[in-house]
Structure 1
């Protein structure tokens, strides 16, 4: 009974296998199959008539907030976005069903990556009960059928360890670098411009942006070749293409920080205009962001 209680109270995670991470065949296999899991073309130009890029961004941002609040594993959100993009590249849907599709994709991704997956009931609560659990379960079968049950997609997170362990980085810096890289990957997932980028390129560009942002490349004298050259060799990426990807990631980060500051200022102004003694949590009790509710209308 004691062992059962311990298992129920903790999430069991497998540790990275150093033998797999050191084996170049594993990395090469990931590079070989990664494009199988990409949308074949920009679905806003051909498939989707009722959905616009800004709607996808709203729903993707909402999905990220749900994953963060539920403390999901880092792999869940990028994988859910992969399902979302692959489905939208094949099936035209109405904008009122976009949040439902996002919830289904999180539902499937958490089942694949979490020891304790998100429940249908909990996801419905996050939509402000705009969908029902039975509706989510019905759509789950639809999405699975369209994806041909091919859920073990390659995402940028699969490349992180393979990349960082091939760079001359101090062990005490790895945790911080991983955290920054995962943040960059999540930002890229919310931006449709990265939807058709190979996962290896997003991961490599995110690692480069993280290291440059932390100024580890200038502090460490053991790099030899430039950081970009080393990263390009690891994932067989052209240097110029990688530089452009990294610069685009950095621009997305700057834009996100600027928007965050603007939202914070707006929230402060709303607080000042609100009833005396009430905080932000009391002023807005919605379970889902207002902009996502607008998409559903």
Structure 2
């Protein structure tokens, strides 16, 4: 019966793991995906997620020379790499979680920040991606423009695992998203397309990960992203107040307060407006996987922005205009 529920999905434009004239060959992969199981959306699973999420981390990094700007730069590079490789959304979020936890426990020189980010991407990809799609060490070395070696990357992978005590299956805001959307019943009550709300909420969650919303619980970030998304699609304060009250009183219950949720929403909207002003329309278009646009140039972790050779659809997280 399980085999009957599988569906073959062809993934386009994925890169082969083997080199071909210092590049990667393209060939279609077939990934067998299982049908969504409603069991994972039951109240028991949701309550277990709420119990498993860790408390907010308010301590700084062990290395004082690592600043928020440095983290933001390397996070942008990680996001662009994940988009180019068409990784699942969880890979980027998990990798940043690993990186932040490692930086709080170990002193990492700023020259090794991209190496750490690559090791975290390697781990997150192994955990969440199918084997034929996962980011290999060779691919990550290639996209760092050979600023690191495969030997260094594998050693840092073990270092991160030891630092995290092999606790890499952590709860993220994306784990709560489907639970919240299901329980809010947005599609029936507000006549809003739930897939559009999901898409916008994923955007805000990725943006929050880039900006390091470490003082908020994953469930709080997920709830705030849903409310902000609905508010952007349907400007109605009555619906916003209704959503907040329902999230706090019925869904998340005693895990968060309305004050904390409003604080997270306000920061999320502020960061979105700030990033929207900084972006120019010629950036963040689809580029070929071998394009040097996302390779680091000079400073480790610094992505090179460039115009696409051909026009395409904006894919960056800040390109959603409400």
TM-score (norm 2): 0.75
- Greater per-residue helix proportion: 1
The more displaced of 49-58 and 63-72 is 49-58
Structure 1 residue 140 corresponds to structure 2 residue 157: yes
Decide whether the 8 Å contact of 1:209 with 1:246 is kept in 2: yes
The answer for unaligned runs of 5 or more in structure 1 is 268-279
Q: Tell me how far apart the structure 2 counterparts of residues 14 and 294 of structure 1 sit (CA, whole Å).
A: 36
3-state SS, counterpart of residue 111 of structure 2 = helix
Q: Tell me how far apart the structure 2 counterparts of residues 292 and 207 of structure 1 sit (CA, whole Å).
A: 36
- Greater per-residue strand proportion: 2
Q: How does 1:186-201 map to 2 (within 5 A)?
A: 186-192=206-212, 194-201=213-220
Decide whether the 8 Å contact of 2:74 with 2:301 is kept in 1: no
Tell me the equivalent position of 1:176: 196
**Offset of 1:232 from its aligned partner?**
1.7
Tell me the equivalent position of 1:20: 40
Q: Tell me how far apart the structure 1 counterparts of residues 266 and 32 of structure 2 sit (CA, whole Å).
A: 37
Q: Tell me how far apart the structure 1 counterparts of residues 34 and 301 of structure 2 sit (CA, whole Å).
A: 41
Of 241, 244, 250, 1:228 maps to: 244
What is the aligned residue count?
267
What are the superposed Cα offsets for residues 87-108 of structure 1, whole Å, 9 maximum, x if unpaired?
0110011000000000110100
Q: Tell me how far apart the structure 2 counterparts of residues 12 and 65 of structure 1 sit (CA, whole Å).
A: 25
What are the superposed Cα offsets for residues 68-98 of structure 1, whole Å, 9 maximum, x if unpaired?
1111001111111110011011001100000
Of 29, 32, 48, 2:51 maps to: 32
The answer for unaligned runs of 5 or more in structure 2 is 1-7, 11-27, 304-322
Higher relative CO (Cα under 8 Å, sequence separation at least 6) belongs to 1
**Offset of 1:125 from its aligned partner?**
1.2
Structure 1 residue 9 corresponds to structure 2 residue 23: no
Decide whether the 8 Å contact of 1:62 with 1:292 is kept in 2: no
**Offset of 1:50 from its aligned partner?**
2.3
RMSD across aligned C-alpha pairs, in angstroms? 2.8
Distance verdict in 2 for CA 1:43–1:225, change over 3 Å: closer
Q: Tell me how far apart the structure 2 counterparts of residues 292 and 189 of structure 1 sit (CA, whole Å).
A: 22
TM-score (norm 1): 0.81
Tell me the equivalent position of 2:3: none
Decide whether the 8 Å contact of 2:197 with 2:229 is kept in 1: yes
Structure 1 residue 53 corresponds to structure 2 residue 68: yes
